[in-house]
Structure 1
Amino acid sequence: MSYTALYRKWRPSSFSDVKGQDHIVQTLKNQIVSGRIGHAYLFCGTRGTGKTSIAKIFAKAVNCEQPMDGSPCGECRTCKNIAAGASLNVVEIDAASNNGVENIREIREEVQYPPTEGRYRVYIIDEVHMLSTGAFNALLKTLEEPPSYVIFILATTEVQKIPVTVLSRCQRYDFKRITVETIVEHLKGLLETEQTQVEERALTYIARSADGALRDALSLLDQCIAFHYGEPLTYDLVLDVLGAVDITVFGNMFRAVAENRTRDCILALEEMVIQGRELGQFVIDFIWYLRNLLLLKSVDDPGGLLDMSAENQSILKEDSRLADQETLLRYIRVFSDLSNQLRYASQKRVLIEVALIKLTRPQMEQNLDSILQRILVMEKMLEEGVVMAPSAGTEPSKETASAPADREMTPAERITLPKGQLEDLNLIRSEWNKIIRELGGPIRASFRDTVVEPAGESCLTIVFSDQSNYMIGSRESTIAEIQGYVEDHYQKSIAFKARLRSGGERLDTIYVSDEELKANILMDITIED
């Protein structure tokens, strides 16, 4: 016998099996008991919350030969036929693939005939928002005045796309996201029946990852059990299967960010990449971690809101002392923007690295919360008696200040280059800002304040002044992207290298050709014997 997925095997067959939608279940049962059954229903809500399951149970209940307190008995011939999909009186239609006017016309023709068994013909139209405008218009009249034996149940995840004319003809029921506690209790019960051992921490993480969708939770659980078949399902195994990260990693990452340790942040991300962790999931979970920190600082008794063990709460309390509420809000904003960018990004790792650099270097951003954080950092340094050196580009650095005064007056060095190398250098230098601007994304952010220097025949060096930017810009993939752009747009095959500027190094060297050097010498040259 073939294996049946958990979400299909454990699909509710009666109202009592439905979890987390008590307000809808009770209303529908009352309608059946009192005989006040409507002709059109609209079930709205996110995926996996029970819309189609309740629609099928309702179809069985209105046709059941021996209903019990508004629920189908599940034993009569009508209930069994509907459960097996063999009843002609319950028609389930997928509007995503049957969204034309012709499909609705078929329904209008069918509703003229009364049911062959039971009392009602029930039409369940799933993802009804996918119907075309013409199909909606064709459905309106039938939806408003159907025969007494016809019930329409429309299900959708995007209610805002339903025309108002349709909404006004239906009883609307909004399905809630199912709570983590409800999902965990349900998973516990079915795993006892399945005779599978599992840690409660593992179930809690699965339930939270499902984001309120019970079907998603069952699919994730199925995946984890299959990967570690025959073993007790532990929290670490779930993290391994789902590509997620343990909470201690978030703590280490947060402390590195709060203490402006950019290198440690990049290395921690590198370790996650090596372990094969899902970077998109890391971003989502790190936002959740920051949210917990913010709640801890903002709410008097956040225990019931944090959804974690007492041990982890004590660790979280220690971490919360490293940042104030405004700083946490900035962290959440940066990572929330990042989460939206990652959906369609091909270079997820680079985008995350840029976001981490933004968190540790608030001077990279010009918005208000970044400026406030920079002021707080300076105040803290002043309190500790740390003398702050002026930033590059405003005042001379420490090396420059300690250098002899006449060094400022030393003219730039002139170096001669072969004509071909000089042409390549001048071309790229003149177009450099345009190149990094059009490449955009991480390159545009990381290649600011870079200088292009010659490095031999058909080769140039990109000189970085910032260590963090150098770590991103020196990657082979980044260099290859620049080389490809230059070759496509300038028909030049130029190799690029990257290096970090050494302390005190000047980057104002003037490169000239032999002819230019001779033309600029304003004296006669005599050769002595």
Structure 2
Amino acid sequence: MSDSADDDTPMLGMDLPEATPQASSGPYRVLARKYRPQTFAELIGQDAMVKTLGNAIARDRLAHAFLMTGVRGVGKTSTARLIAKALNCIGPDGQGGPTIDPCGVCEPCRAITEGRHIDVIEMDAASNTGVDDVREIIEAVRYAAVSARYKIYIIDEVHMLSRNAFNALLKTLEEPPPHVKFLFATTEVNKVPVTVLSRCQRFDLRRITPDMLFAHFSAILQKEGVAAEAPAVWLIASAAEGSVRDGLSILDQAIAHADLESGDGGGMIGAEQVRAMLGLSDRSSIAQLMAAILEGDSGGAIDLARAQYALGIEPVAMVRGLMDLTHAVTLAKVSRHDDPALAETDRARIGDWAQKLGFAPLNRLWQLLLKGHDEVLRANNPLEHLEMLLLRVIYAASLPDPGELAKLLESGGVPTMPLAAPPAPGGSERAAVETMVDAPAAERAEPPASALTIAQIHHLLESTGYHQLALQVYDHLQLLELEPALLVYAATSALDADFARKLGEALLKETGSRWQVRVGDGEARPSLGQMKAAKLADNDARIRELPVVKAALAAFPDARLVEDGNNHHRSNP
């Protein structure tokens, strides 16, 4: 709805007027209307736009159409009204011209402020979307202003005009009569046709920063004679999300709540009162919940969540509280966290966690909470989903990354089953292979030819420049028999008839002994590559059975385990 459609609806965000607030005996006006800006100096957070408009007026380079964009409550419609006053102000003596500082006392200024000027027409595009409404404007622009310098059309939420209405307006918008100015306001500029945007001078109004809102609300509270704790005002400034109007509505509610609490109209606005009013989780309870998560206390975390739920805190609010705390700890690690609403004990707690936790666990914790937030928000039974989310976070947030997990497995840091079964009788070579496949090159000493294993033969070929031959041995050579100076292997399509001769010549050159290399029949052992693949598959299966990995894969179904190693001839599982 348009902010100008009804005098009883709250107006856009703004700073303090010079006028004294109305007496308490009159009808009550909400703060957003009571403290509406009457000059550009009172419009907070939009200095760049004010400077541009001031220079344009001073140099008499006024556009015929202006478009104000931005989120709700930052001053779009208020800016349009101020522009209307600036262009039509005649000064206290009636001799003034357009000015960036309208006097506010001349008849045009007073009439525009009160919404009764006949030449300043405000239109709500949300309820006047058709081409017929635009045709009325097109017909009316032909006539000069009745009493003002310019006839001004303020169209709020202009993006809601129909396509035909926009098309009907294009020609008039491009070449309006010199006495007409168009002022558009919208929260969704992407829905305004490019043909309209190109005909307007555009101003993007910024969100108001929390520190500006804090100062603005503090001044209003002082004028209203209401006491408030500084953290309470900071909470309201943060909850406003850059919108002055939203913040003033919350402030109105907080003042009413404080009055009811005290019963005498002079109550103090406290931080806990504002937190309860906004439905935010208690900060200390969220900190206890975070501590339980980090300590792995699943039972304690569920008990804390149920206690908060019994007090009326929504599960999704608890998740948001955990996300806010995770965000605060992460920023504290890079010295970028400064929340004035925090108590000293909360700052100390966040600083302590920032020192103890690394970026990787914090990032995983954030991702788990982010995914869980949507699940809890859409759940039919939010408490159950919250409890399952807490268990998932506890078991998965401390999960090491795949590289760390592989190192733990190799070093024995994680209890696992033996990587290979005991060798069968007569299988000493296979046991040696399984030992040597993962051994670093520096540890693979070159034994005499009579004691070589297939893994040592592969390493010997690789280290002496027989790379293609080494690759064939690793991937495709399936042993039938390996004795001193004798190597018998099973025939495969990957090994041609010349393979035996090449391997025998290489072994003769590198060991100084003549080797008999030939194809045989019988049940062959797997190649080095096949054994490595089987070992990795076994590792993968056992890793997936670890509780932390199960929880991680449940949280991220598209995740996959990746081997972290330096073996150039490994097979991916």
Shift of 1:269: 1.9
Match of residue 295 from structure 2 = 259
Shift of 1:241: 1.1
Structure 1's 22 and 248: CA in aligned 2 closer, same or farther, altered over 3 A?
same
Residue 93 of structure 1 aligns to a residue in which SS?
strand
Q: For 1:337, which of 344, 360, 371 is the aligned residue?
A: 371
Q: For 1:191, which of 221, 224, 231 is the aligned residue?
A: 221
Match of residue 324 from structure 1 = 358
Offset from partner CA, 1:138-191 (integer Å, 9 cap, x none): 121111111111111111111111111111111111111111100000001111
* Equivalent-residue separation in structure 2 for 1:110 and 1:345 (angstroms): 54
Match of residue 271 from structure 2 = 235
Shift of 1:350: 3.5
Offset from partner CA, 1:297-340 (integer Å, 9 cap, x none): 2x2x3254787455432210112245321222222223333444
Q: For 2:61, which of 30, 36, 43 is the aligned residue?
A: 36
Contact 1:125 1:155 in 2 (8 A): yes
Structure-to-structure mapping, 1:336-485, within 5 angstroms:
336-341=370-375, 345-362=379-396, 372=401, 388=415
Contact 2:369 2:393 in 1 (8 A): no
* Equivalent-residue separation in structure 2 for 1:117 and 1:105 (angstroms): 23
Structure-to-structure mapping, 1:280-295, within 5 angstroms:
280-295=316-331
Amino acid at match of 2:301: C
Match of residue 567 from structure 2 = none
Match of residue 518 from structure 2 = none
* Equivalent-residue separation in structure 2 for 1:306 and 1:233 (angstroms): 16
Residue 173 of structure 1 aligns to a residue in which SS?
strand
* Equivalent-residue separation in structure 1 for 2:254 and 2:108 (angstroms): 37
Contact 1:290 1:328 in 2 (8 A): yes
Match of residue 274 from structure 1 = 310
* Equivalent-residue separation in structure 2 for 1:164 and 1:265 (angstroms): 53
* Equivalent-residue separation in structure 2 for 1:378 and 1:88 (angstroms): 79
Residue 253 of structure 2 aligns to a residue in which SS?
helix
Residue 154 of structure 1 aligns to a residue in which SS?
strand
* Equivalent-residue separation in structure 1 for 2:375 and 2:188 (angstroms): 22
Residue 361 of structure 1 aligns to a residue in which SS?
helix
Amino acid at match of 1:98: N
* Equivalent-residue separation in structure 2 for 1:334 and 1:51 (angstroms): 38
Offset from partner CA, 1:187-207 (integer Å, 9 cap, x none): 011111100000111000110
Match of residue 236 from structure 2 = 206
Structure 1's 216 and 61: CA in aligned 2 closer, same or farther, altered over 3 A?
same
CA RMSD of aligned residues (A): 2.9
Rg: which structure is higher? Answer: 2
* Equivalent-residue separation in structure 2 for 1:198 and 1:311 (angstroms): 21
Contact 1:255 1:322 in 2 (8 A): no
Q: Flag structure 1 segments of 5+ consecutive residues without an equivalent.
A: 364-368, 391-468, 470-529
* Equivalent-residue separation in structure 1 for 2:405 and 2:283 (angstroms): 28
Offset from partner CA, 1:37-71 (integer Å, 9 cap, x none): 11111111111111111111111111111169512
Percent identity over the alignment is 37
1:24 matches 2:49: yes
Match of residue 59 from structure 1 = 84
Structure 1's 375 and 276: CA in aligned 2 closer, same or farther, altered over 3 A?
farther
Q: TM-score, normalised by structure 1?
A: 0.67
Shift of 1:88: 1.6
Structure 1's 311 and 155: CA in aligned 2 closer, same or farther, altered over 3 A?
same
Q: For 2:285, which of 244, 249, 264 is the aligned residue?
A: 249
Residue 20 of structure 1 aligns to a residue in which SS?
coil
Offset from partner CA, 1:225-283 (integer Å, 9 cap, x none): 11221311011111121111232222212222222322222222222222112444443
Q: For 2:105, which of 75, 84, 90 is the aligned residue?
A: 75
* Equivalent-residue separation in structure 2 for 1:137 and 1:359 (angstroms): 54
Structure 1's 206 and 374: CA in aligned 2 closer, same or farther, altered over 3 A?
farther
Shift of 1:4: 1.0
1:106 matches 2:136: yes
Shift of 1:361: 2.6
* Equivalent-residue separation in structure 2 for 1:340 and 1:266 (angstroms): 19
Structure 1's 242 and 327: CA in aligned 2 closer, same or farther, altered over 3 A?
same
1:155 matches 2:185: yes
* Equivalent-residue separation in structure 1 for 2:89 and 2:376 (angstroms): 49
Shift of 1:32: 2.0
1:126 matches 2:160: no
1:221 matches 2:281: no
Structure 1's 79 and 341: CA in aligned 2 closer, same or farther, altered over 3 A?
farther
Structure 1's 342 and 110: CA in aligned 2 closer, same or farther, altered over 3 A?
farther
* Equivalent-residue separation in structure 2 for 1:39 and 1:303 (angstroms): 45
Contact 2:86 2:99 in 1 (8 A): no
* Equivalent-residue separation in structure 2 for 1:266 and 1:107 (angstroms): 62
Contact 2:152 2:181 in 1 (8 A): yes
Contact 1:251 1:319 in 2 (8 A): no
Structure 1's 39 and 346: CA in aligned 2 closer, same or farther, altered over 3 A?
farther
Q: For 1:50, which of 75, 78, 88 is the aligned residue?
A: 75
* Equivalent-residue separation in structure 2 for 1:52 and 1:321 (angstroms): 47
* Equivalent-residue separation in structure 1 for 2:268 and 2:282 (angstroms): 19
* Equivalent-residue separation in structure 1 for 2:341 and 2:402 (angstroms): 29
1:5 matches 2:30: yes
Residue 49 of structure 1 aligns to a residue in which SS?
coil
Contact 2:232 2:341 in 1 (8 A): no
* Equivalent-residue separation in structure 1 for 2:331 and 2:286 (angstroms): 16
Match of residue 422 from structure 1 = none
Structure 1's 371 and 103: CA in aligned 2 closer, same or farther, altered over 3 A?
farther
Structure 1's 27 and 274: CA in aligned 2 closer, same or farther, altered over 3 A?
same
Shift of 1:295: 1.3
Contact 1:258 1:322 in 2 (8 A): no
Match of residue 505 from structure 2 = none
Match of residue 485 from structure 2 = none
* Equivalent-residue separation in structure 1 for 2:55 and 2:269 (angstroms): 41
* Equivalent-residue separation in structure 1 for 2:380 and 2:252 (angstroms): 29
Contact 1:49 1:176 in 2 (8 A): yes
Residue 148 of structure 2 aligns to a residue in which SS?
coil
* Equivalent-residue separation in structure 1 for 2:406 and 2:354 (angstroms): 17
* Equivalent-residue separation in structure 2 for 1:279 and 1:7 (angstroms): 32
Residue 211 of structure 2 aligns to a residue in which SS?
helix
Q: Flag structure 2 segments of 5+ consecutive residues without an equivalent.
A: 1-25, 260-264, 418-550, 552-573
* Equivalent-residue separation in structure 1 for 2:148 and 2:188 (angstroms): 32
* Equivalent-residue separation in structure 2 for 1:279 and 1:85 (angstroms): 45
